[in-house]
A and B are shown apart, each in its own frame.
Chain A
Amino acid sequence: MSTGAAPPIGDPSAIIIIKNLVKEFHGLRAVDDVSLTVARGKVTVIIGPSGSGKSTLLRCINHLEVPTSGDIWVDGIHLTHHAKDINAVRAEVGMVFQQFNLFPHLTVLQNVMLAQRVVRKRSEAEAREIAMQQLARVGIPEKANAYPSQLSGGQQQRVAIARALAMNPKIMLFDEPTSALDPEMIKEVLDVMLELASSGMTMVVVTHEMGFARNAADEVVFMDRGRIVEQGPPDVLFQQPREARTRAFLSQILR
C-alpha cells in the first residue's frame, strides 16, 4: 500500500484511478491486483464470466466493499485511507444495482427526493423540482406518486437511475443493471443509459449486454478470475482480441 494520499501524477483527464487493488473474501481473492484508470466523461464497460470479480471491483469504487489492499482515487480524493470522506465521495458517485433496491416504503418521488434532502440539504421545493426533472429524463414522470411495487422491473430500474442522477453525481456505476429484467424491459433501461452516455456522463458499467458495450463504450475491460485480462476500445477488443481467454469468452457469448 502506498502511504501518500496524493494521487499519482499522470493523465489529468483521469477521474478514477485504481492501483494494485486486492479484495479477499475469507482468503479467496475476488479482485487480484487490479489497476485501472477511468477517464472523465468516458464510458467504461467491464465484461467477464460470473465470479470474475467485476462486480466486486465496481463496489470497491464507492467502498460498498472495503478493499483488502491497494489504492483508489475518485476525483482526486484518496478513498482507501480516508474513511470519513467516503460519504462525501459516495454522494458524487451514483450507483445502480441489479436488484434496483428502491425504498419500498416511499413513493417514487420520495425515493428520488430523500437523499437530496438529507445528504445534499436541498430545500423541499428544489429537491422536488430536480426529482421531477430526472423522472422526466428517464421517461416516467407520471409515476411520481406510485409505490415501487406498483411498477414494472424496467420502470423500477429507471427510477433507480433517476434517484442516483438527482444527486448530480460526477460518476455513475452500473452493476448488471439489466440482469434482473424480463427481456422486453431491457431496452427501455439501455435506452436511458445510452442517452446518459451521450450526455457526457462518466460511466462504469458491469454488464452482459454486448450490444451496449459495442455502441456506448469508449473502453471495454475483460476480467477473469479477479484480474484484468485485456482492455481496449470495443471495436478492437471485440474484433481482434489478443488473449485466448478473451476469445474463448467472446465466442461463448456472441453467437
Chain B
Amino acid sequence: MSIGTERLPAGGRSLAGRFIERAAQWPWWLLVIALVGVLIAWNALTSELYSAIFSRLTLGIGVTIFTTLVAYSLALVIGLLAGLGRVSGNPVVFNIATLYVQVIRGVPILVQLLVIAFVIVPALIDGVNSLGALLAPLIGEPNLLTQTRPQDVPFLTRCIIALAIAYGGFQAETFRAGIQSISKGQMEAARSLGMSYVQAMRYIILPQAIRRVLPPLGNDFIAMLKDSSLVSVLGVRDITQEARLYAAASFRYMETYVSLAFFYLAMTILLSLGVRWLENRLNSHGRGQG
C-alpha cells in the first residue's frame, strides 16, 4: 500500500529525475573505499615498495589481533562485574564500581596506558616483593616473590591490562544501562518465586539485558581494535609500530601510513558489517519474543 502511494508522484517525474533519486541512495562511500582498496592492492602486487610495506605490516597483525581479542575479553568480564556493581544495592560495592567508572572516564586512554604500564604495574611488583620479604622466614630469603622484577612483565601484557581496564569502565556503563532497561517487574516476578538476587540476575535479567547491549558491545570491539594502535607508544610491535619503524628507516612516510590506515579501515569495515549482520539477526529473532 505505502509503496504504491509513494510511487505515484515519482511516476510523473522525468526518467532523469528518477535516476538521480535512485543514485542518491547508492552507498557511494563504500565504492570510494573499494576503489582505494583496489588501487592499494594493485600497488601491493606491482610496486616493490608497497609489497615491502605490506609484508612489514603483516608482521604486526598478529599482535594487533591478539591484543584486541585478549583485552576485549578481559574488558567484558571487568565491565560485567563493574556494571553489576553499579546497580548493586550494597553501598560499598556501588561506590567502588562508581569510583572505577568515573576515574576511567575522566582520564584519556593514552594516559591510562602510561600510568598502568609505568606506575601501577611497578607498584604491584613492589607489593609482591615486600610480600616475599614478609614471607621470607617461611619460604626462604631469595624466593620467587622477592626475585620478580618489573621488567619480567612484558609491555604487551601491560598494554593488554591497561586496555582491558580502560574498556571495562566503558562497558560497565553499557551493562548498567542494559540491566536498568529491563522492567522492574521482571526482578519482582523472579524474587516473588523465591529466587535469590543472584539467581534472578543470572536467569532473568542478564539474558535479556545482554541481548539488548550486544550492538553497543560490538561497536566497542571495533573501537578496541583501533585503540590497540596505542600500544605502539610503548614499543609493542603491532601494525602501527611496524609502520612507524619502517617509515622512520625508509623515509617513505606517505606510502607507509596510507597503507597502515588502509589496514585498519579494511578490518573495521569487515567488523562493522559483522556487527550489522548480528544486529539484524537479533532483531528478526527477538521480534517474536517482544
Asked if A20 is an interface residue, CB under 8 A from chain B, the answer is no
Chain A positions 102-131 with a Cβ under 8 Å from a chain B Cβ: 102-105, 114-115, 118-120
In-complex Cβ contact of B290 among A104, A118, A164 (8 A): A104
Chain B positions 190-241 with a Cβ under 8 Å from a chain A Cβ: 190-196, 199, 203-204, 207-208, 211
Shortest A8–chain B CB gap in Å is 26
B208 contacts across to A, CB distance below 8 A: 103-105
Asked if B47 is an interface residue, CB under 8 A from chain A, the answer is no
In-complex Cβ contact of A149 among B188, B204, B211, B288 (8 A): B288
In-complex Cβ contact of A103 among B189, B192, B196, B199 (8 A): B189
Which size class do A's interface residues fall under? 20 to 34
Given contacts A97-B188, A147-B288, contact A91 B207 (CB under 8 A): no
B102 contacts across to A, CB distance below 8 A: none
* Complex Cα gap A224–B215 (Å): 48
In-complex Cβ contact of B193 among A90, A105, A149 (8 A): A90
Asked if B185 is an interface residue, CB under 8 A from chain A, the answer is yes
B196 contacts across to A, CB distance below 8 A: 87
**Partner-B contacts on A (CB < 8 A):** 62, 64, 87-88, 90-95, 97, 99, 101-105, 114-115, 118-120, 147-150, 160, 163-164, 167
- What 19 new A-B contacts, CB under 8 Å, besides A87-B194, A97-B192? A62-B192, A90-B191, A90-B193, A91-B194, A92-B194, A95-B189, A95-B192, A97-B189, A101-B188, A103-B189, A104-B289, A105-B208, A105-B211, A115-B193, A115-B195, A119-B195, A147-B289, A150-B288, A163-B193
What 8 A-B pairs come out closest when comparing CB atoms?
A: A91-B194, A149-B290, A101-B189, A115-B193, A95-B192, A101-B185, A119-B194, A90-B194
**Partner-A contacts on B (CB < 8 A):** 183, 185-186, 188-196, 199, 203-204, 207-208, 211, 288-290
Q: What are 14 residue pairs bridging A and B, where the CB atoms are less than 8 Å apart in the complex?
A: A62-B192, A64-B188, A87-B194, A91-B193, A94-B193, A101-B188, A101-B189, A102-B189, A103-B208, A105-B211, A105-B289, A119-B194, A119-B199, A148-B290
